[in-house]
Amino acid sequence: MEQKPKTTLTVISFFAIYVIWGSTYLLNKIAVTALPPFLLAGLRFCTAGLLIFIIALAMGKSIAISKKQLLNT
């Protein structure tokens, strides 16, 4: 039995990537004029870390950090 490709979902996914990726440049241009670059970088990393943390919790992954990892030894 052959599976029918989900073309609608594929088109919607590509459109979402196109819009999100394309809007990044515009938003960066606006943000750089309003905020200092290091603040923007910090906000970006904090947002990414929070998103990864939420995804890890949703997937039931362990987020425990050992003392050795914290001290980087």
45: helix, strand or coil = helix
**Euclidean distance between CA atoms 29 and 47, whole angstroms:** 18
pTM of the model: 0.57
- Which residue has 């990393």 as its token pair? 45
Task: Give the tens place of pLDDT for each residue, 34-72.
Answer: 999 899 999 999 999 999 999 999 999 888 888 888 888
**Cβ(57)–Cβ(48) under 8 Å?**
no
Q: At what angle do helices 7-34 and 37-59 cross, to 10 degrees?
A: 150
Q: Quick one: pLDDT at residue 4?
A: 65
